[in-house]
Amino acid sequence: MKKTICTLLILALCTSTQAQFGITAGANIGKYSYGENRFDVHRKILLAFNTGLQYKKVLNEKTFLLPEVGFTQKGSRVYYDYPIGYTGPMKNTNRLNYIQLTFPVIAALPISDELDYEIGGGLYTALLMKATQQTFEFDGSSTKRDFTAGSFKKMDAGLHLTTGFRMGKKLGLHLNYDFGLMNIEGDSNNPSVKNRSFSINMSWLFSEND
């Protein structure tokens, strides 16, 4: 999957006709999808962020490619049920830092001369750069540590969906969803773990005259 996406990206970058470069940044809402559900373990959303560079390649009047490479943070917060009087760890916050390549095909539907509705989807692949865990105690203290090598798999991949609006062919506001298809759990004896992540992004596409 990674080789396919990279090949498509290279082909898109080989021509500059009707192409624009852009920047994007936004907030992530991440959560794990587990292969096992336990009544005493509660998975909560994690607020994080992303930022990246985009490249728009027009295919026809209404569709275009919008490959993106950037940094994104995913993960989850995990709470536990404990008996009364327990004074150990209360919750863990896991943060996974990725360099991610996204390759969606997007349709632009004009609402007015200055406003387009955009919707599309494609694939993403991501390389894990760092994984950290912050453990919070009942007394309010916390400790932070790096996960050891092998705790999570280095590669992730899945589906990327996007929808939103673009004003003046430049300023964009989009809601994105990454649906991880790969098990990122590093220990084969543990239940599977897959990434799920919503993001709300602002973006700007530069024209040739900017």
Per-residue pLDDT tens digits for 16-38: 556 799 999 999 999 888 776 65
**Is pLDDT of 56 > 70?**
yes
Give a yes or no: residue 153 inside a domain: yes
Q: pLDDT tens-digit profile of 143-199?
A: 888 988 789 999 999 999 999 999 999 999 999 999 999 999 988 888 889 999 999
Q: What angle do CA 41, 175, 165 make, to 5 degrees?
A: 170
**Is pLDDT of 51 > 70?**
yes
Strand 171-180 with 155-167, pairing = antiparallel
Domain that holds residue 197: 19-205
Three-state SS across the chain?
CHHHHHHHHHHHHCCCCCEEEEEEEEEEEEEEEECCCCCCEEEECEEEEEEEEEEEEECCCCEEECCEEEEEEEEEEEEECCCCCCCCEEEEEEEEEEEEEEEEEEEEEEEECCEEEEEEEEEEEEEEEEEEEEEEECCCCEEEEECCCCCECCEEEEEEEEEEEEECCCEEEEEEEEEECCCCECCCCCCCEEEEEEEEEEEEEECCCC
Give a yes or no: residue 7 inside a domain: no
The pair of structure tokens assigned to 44 is 């909560």
The pair of structure tokens assigned to 179 is 């649906």
CATH of the domain at 155: 2.40.160.20
Give a yes or no: residue 5 inside a domain: no
Give a yes or no: residue 31 inside a domain: yes
- In total, how many domains does the chain have? 1
